[in-house]
Each structure stands twice: as C-alpha cells, then as structure tokens.
Amino acid sequence: MTPLLETRDVGKTFGSVVALRGVSMTVERGGVTCVLGDNGAGKSTLIKILSGVHAPDSGTYLVDGEPVRFGSPREALDRGIATVYQDLAMIPLMSVWRNFFLGSEPPARGPSRALGGFDVATAKRVAREELRRMGIDIRDVDQPVGTLSGGERQSVAIARAVHFGARVLILDEPTSALGVKQAGVVLRYIAQARDRGLGVVFITHNPHHAYPVGDRFLLLNRGAGLGEYGKADIGRDELTSLMAGGAELDELAHELRRTDTPS
C-alpha cells in the first residue's frame, strides 16, 4: 500500500544554516508516526515542510505516492493535510461551536442565506456530534473555548481538523504543555483519529508520550535523522536513551559526579 505521506532525503537550508538534511519518513493510513527530537533538532522545520509552509531544498516529498511541491499551507490542506499547532488557532472568548466552524460556517437554509446567514442550529448539532464521535466529552458546546482545559482544547482542534476532511493530521507538540492526565486525554484522541483511518504525525520530545501510541519513530538530532524505527525494532528504553542522547547523558553524569578529592 502506498503511504499517505513520504519524504525521501529531504533537506532545508536557511542561508548558511542547515536546518534539516537527509530526513526520510513515512506516514501510513491508520498509523501514527512520531517525530522525536530535542530543541533545535529540526522538528519544526520538518513540520513546516510537511504542512506546506516551506518547500524542501533537496529530496522529495510525496503525497499518495506522487511528488508534490506545496506553495502554501492552503494547498496542503486541500490535499487533506491539516496541522494543529501548539498555539491552536482558537479564539478563547468564543464558544466551542463558533470556534469549530470559524471560517467554514454552514450557510443558513431559507432567505437569510443570501445575506450571509449562518445555520446556527446545524453548527451546534454537528459540533456536538463530531466531538462525541471522537469520544470527547465536552459538557456544553456553548461554553467559551477559554474555559476548556489545555487537553480539551487540543481535542477540539483535532476534532475540527478531522471533520473538515483531514486525512493526515500533523500535531505539533500537542502534549508538551499539559499535565500527565491531560496528556493522556490527548493521546487517547490521537488513537481515535488513527482508528478512524487517518495518518498522524505526532511531534514530541517526550518518548513516554510517543511510545504508547506510535507505530513508527523518527529520531532527529541536530537536523539529521537518526533513523526511522518500527515499533517492533525498538523498545521504550532504547528510544528514551536514544532520545536523551544516551552517550551524552553518561558523559553529563560523569561530569556532575561529586569529586571526592579537592583539587
């Protein structure tokens, strides 16, 4: 089966800075590909390439097996590639259902349609249904998004992307600002999206969040891929140690050890 998304040896340079080089990864239908890396490893450059913000300088980017070159995020979105950024693109003072349909409001039936009328009843019903279908338990779709917890907000953003026809969801550090319990909530929705047949790119620097939901793991370090592993090929401990830069940590531990003999 052709993967939904694939990159082959993509790279990106900004002036003299090599932000990314030779990164290959695949995203399957109904699969979660986790992108792990420390700050500055090139995670955000990779997302920007995948979501159409930047075009790669080298290598190829394939969607459904055919090479693409996106000029804008809109073009990527039209191919069903939706990105949920950390800062979410939600309006805190607006209700959940207004946020859900913002920019894509369903037109009213009847004469007010010509005047730009907006079918409020349908919007509320669909928002409630979509959230419930994702297993998201929002008490009341009339409440402002600002009153939701961080995890709930991420969940609404994911449900919105799914409703508007996303086939691939790119999630930029969706769990990094969340507590343990909230992160668990978001991981559950990632699994939900996967079970509905979407491909998910899950960017994180936390191997404990990545391992339970991930099918494939791409490790980035200083702009280069350390390899893409299937779940069978790598254990949680190995992932954690690779992620933390195993050898570097040993060295650090050595450095931080108390010296018994004063010099």
CA distance 261 to 70: 61
CB of 96 to other proteins, least distance (A): 12
Taking the complex as a whole, the smallest distance from the CB of residue 61 to other proteins amounts, in Å, to 22
Measured CA to CA, the distance from residue 119 to residue 172 in angstroms comes to 32
**Dist. CA 190–CA 62, nearest whole Å:** 23
From candidates 109, 132, 133, 196, binder to other proteins by CB under 8 A: 132
Query: Given the rule CB under 8 A, which of 41-49, 114-122, 204-212, 224-232 is the region that contacts other proteins?
Result: 114-122
The token duo for 210 is 């990545």
With contacts defined by CB under 8 A, name the span among 15-23, 40-48, 110-118, 215-223 that binds other proteins: 110-118
- Cα–chain-centroid distance for residue 8? 20
Identified binder of other proteins from the candidate list 55, 62, 108, 224, rule CB under 8 A = 108
> What's the rounded Cα separation, in Å, for the pair 198 and 156?
16
Give yes or no for residue 256 binding other proteins (CB under 8 A): no
Is residue 206 near other proteins by the rule CB under 8 A? no
Q: Which amino acid is at 31?
A: G
Total interface residues for other proteins by CB under 8 A: 32
Report in angstroms how near the CB of residue 165 gets to other proteins at its nearest: 14
In angstroms, rounded to a whole number, what is the distance separating the alpha carbons of residues 239 and 244? 8
| Number of neighbours of residue 118 by Cβ within 10 angstroms | 14
Instruction: State the residues that interact with other proteins by CB under 8 A.
Output: 87-94, 98, 101-105, 107-108, 112, 115-118, 120, 132, 137-140, 142-144, 146-147
